[in-house]
Amino acid sequence: MNRKIRLLVVEDDPNVSTVLCARLESLGYEVAATAETGLEAIGRFYRHHPDLVTMDILLKGEMNGIEVAARISERSDVPIIYMTCLSDRKVFERAIATNPYGYIIKPYEINELRSAIEIARVKYQAAVEQKALIAQLQKALDKVKTLSGLLPICASCKRIRNDDNQTWQAIEEYIADHSNADFTHGICPECARRLYPDFYKERK
């Protein structure tokens, strides 16, 4: 059975908060906590660890919702959806700068609320998977160094001229220094017959 999505409702008007919580619960979500001020929101966010936050922009106290969202986003990537009666363009631009997962203008329809939450959760899951994939790719890249371009190699001794153009390295040393490859030494059959002909005669 899937766990219910837990939300933190940040809303300065108790009546609006009560209605919003009722609507969220009717949609099958769980309200983990509510807050009316920025300090309450931050404290309850870290206490309850919700899956998503609905954030009013106008709050009681010194901080507004945009400032609270920015503080939360510094340490967490939990989705935040703004819910506000403000339609001012400058306020919208300040809110968008915090990379929210949604922006709802009050009054809103209940289906609009549900859609915003579900889209936020899908986007968040995709971001988590992308972050994990990038971490895996970076880990793989950290383990691999590649050689490319022309390598100046001696036609006789097979040593490679180093990057300083003055010293020459054995080919296995050069490759080991410029990649994560390592070497185990052996002798191929042709060299073995050339270097140890007596041994091969005895075997025959």
Q: Tokens at residue 19, please?
A: 């209605």
User: Which domains, from first to last, does the chain contain?
Assistant: 6-140 (3.40.50.2300), 160-203 (no CATH)
- Judge whether residue 143 has pLDDT over 60: no
For 16, the enclosing helix (H) or strand (E) is helix 14-26
Structure confidence by residue, pLDDT tens digits, 147-175: 666 778 887 888 888 777 778 888 888 87
Q: Tokens at residue 134, please?
A: 């990038």
97 burial level (CB within 10 Å; 0-12, 13-18, 19+): exposed
Look at the alpha carbons of 35, 38, 44, 49 in this order and tell me if their dihedral is positive or negative: positive
Q: Is the whole-model pTM more than 0.85?
A: no
- Supply the pLDDT for residue 197: 78
Residues 6+ apart with CB under 8 A from 87: 105
- Supply the pLDDT for residue 177: 76
